[in-house]
């Protein structure tokens, strides 16, 4: 009889612990563009106009927050993602909080122009970080995803359906 009560209490505590492990809010299912697999010199150039402001404009943000880290950027052909290409050696030397600040600064600028942001390293197929928003929701929900050196991330999981795009 004692073992039965103990088993019931134990199962109750295990069940309650499992409930705390469930995520409070689900992240959107996202399809990230494939990172460019060509050398820096073969990538599209950042948008630059001599007659009007470049959209998106990361020039000042690059000078203030990413001069050593950012190699180049361009707008993906589907026109919803800005792809940043970073220096692999410099990226790997960064602390987590420095990476987060970098993503947050550039992500905020991309969001203001209506873009999602993806960060890639040269010749790598999968992104190493992203800042993406659900532009159709109010209030605007944005997420930061950083590929962990020690565990899996959204980039390692199969995606079921596309993320809503800007219209």
The string of pLDDT tens digits covering residues 92-144 is 999 989 999 999 999 999 999 899 999 998 878 888 999 999 888 888 889 99
What residues pair up with 73 in beta bridges, in sequence order?
Answer: 84
CA distance 38 to 115: 23
Dihedral (CA of 3, 20, 128, 83) sign = positive
Continuous segment of H or E residues that includes residue 12: helix 2-21
| pLDDT value for 44 | 64
- Measured between alpha carbons, how far apart are the two ends of the chain, in Å? 64
The DSSP letter of residue 91 is H
Residue bearing tokens 């009560």: 5
Which is more confidently placed, 34 or 156?
A: 34
CA dist 113 and 131 (Å) reads: 13
> What pLDDT score does 102 carry?
92
167: which 2 tokens?
């219209």
pLDDT in tens, 5-61: 544 544 544 444 444 444 444 555 666 777 777 776 666 666 655 555 556 777 777
* Dist. CA 45–CA 41, nearest whole Å: 9
């Amino acid at each position: 009889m004692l073992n039965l009560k103990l088993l019931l209490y134990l199962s109750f505590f295990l069940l309650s612990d499992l409930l705390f492990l469930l995520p409070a809010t689900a992240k959107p299912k996202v399809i990230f563009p494939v990172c460019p697999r060509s050398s820096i010199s073969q990538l599209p150039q950042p948008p630059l106009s001599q007659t009007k402001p470049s959209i998106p404009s990361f020039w000042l943000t690059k000078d203030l927050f990413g001069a050593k880290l950012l190699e180049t950027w361009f707008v993906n052909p589907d026109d919803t993602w800005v792809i940043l290409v970073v220096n692999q050696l410099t990226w790997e030397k960064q602390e987590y909080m420095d990476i987060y600040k970098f993503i947050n600064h550039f992500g905020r600028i991309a969001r203001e122009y209506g873009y999602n942001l993806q960060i890639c390293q040269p010749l790598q197929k999968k992104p190493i970080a992203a800042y993406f928003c659900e532009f159709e929701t109010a209030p605007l929900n944005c997420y930061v995803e950083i590929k962990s050196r020690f565990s899996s991330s959204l980039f390692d999981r199969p995606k079921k359906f596309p993320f809503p795009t800007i219209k």
